[in-house]
Amino acid sequence: MANEVTLLDFWPSPFGMRCRIALAEKGIKHEYKDENLKDKSPLLLQMNPVHKKIPVLIHNGKPICESLNIVQYIDETWNDKSPLLPSDPYKRAQARFWADYVDKKVYELGVKVWRTKGEEHETAKKDFIECLKVMEGELGDKTYFGGETIGFVDVSLIPWNCWFYAIETCGNFSIEDSCPKLVGWAKRCMEKESVSKSLVEPQKIYEVVLKLRKASGIDQ
């Protein structure tokens, strides 16, 4: 069967970026469709009727939803090169645990930093740095989270690198001051073409964040 692959995405989405990196790592030719989330396409509504969210990977007409699920699907389907998940069941379970931590902690707290004011904002900043330190502890002295090559946890976390500038600027703090090793890891990831071409300029994300802050009444 022909391999027809389409990614429904939205350019600033860190969830979409995960899928872009995985497709690039595997060298999968695909069609990229940028959605207007204020006016979702009939295709998106048809392919993800439950959540109606991007990203959605459409492989030979069949949809796969949820970014971490998509990255695993890509890894299992195109398993001839650049493995993202380890083959050992325990290591696979650990990789999924940390990717889930990224979603439940790094993402949630990062959003809280730029979307809140006052005491809530100050608490979110502290909690955000604490959870990045936890990630840094997990990285240890390894090149990537999974070892010598880029893997599932790296792909899950690295998209937030282009959101960090907005988070730091809104919070008036430096991630590098608290987590220099994590910033070093992000720089290493960015040296990979699969990553750098899948992420967007931090300044563009900052502009998106400023618009969202205005829309939600945080900024005048």
Choices 60-68, 76-84, 118-126, 207-215; region in contact with ligand GS8 by CB under 6 A? 60-68
Least distance from ligand GS8 to the Cβ atom of residue 9, Å: 9
Residue nearest ligand GS8, CB atom distance: 53
Half-sphere exposure of 70 (CA within 13 A, CB side): 29
Closest CA to 26 of 76, 60, 61, 66: 76
Position among 4, 27, 34, 37 found at the interface with ligand GS8 (CB under 6 A) = 37
Least distance from ligand GS8 to the Cβ atom of residue 113, Å: 15
- Would you count residue 101 as binding ligand GS8 (CB under 6 A)? no
Position among 6, 13, 72, 194 found at the interface with ligand GS8 (CB under 6 A) = 13
Nearer to ligand GS8, 55 or 110 (CB): 55
70 CB burial (10 A radius; 0-12, 13-18, 19+)? buried
- Would you count residue 67 as binding ligand GS8 (CB under 6 A)? yes
Phi, psi of 219 (to 5 degrees): -105, 155
Choices 63-71, 94-102, 178-186, 210-218; region in contact with ligand GS8 by CB under 6 A? 63-71
Exposure class string for 172-189: b at 16+ Cβ within 10 A, else e: ebebeeebebbbebbeeb
Distance CA 61, CA 63 (A): 7
Nearer to ligand GS8, 53 or 192 (CB): 53
CA dihedral of residues 58, 62, 67, 72 (deg, nearest 10):
-110
Residues at the contact surface with ligand GS8, assessed by CB under 6 A: 10, 13, 15, 37, 52-55, 66-68
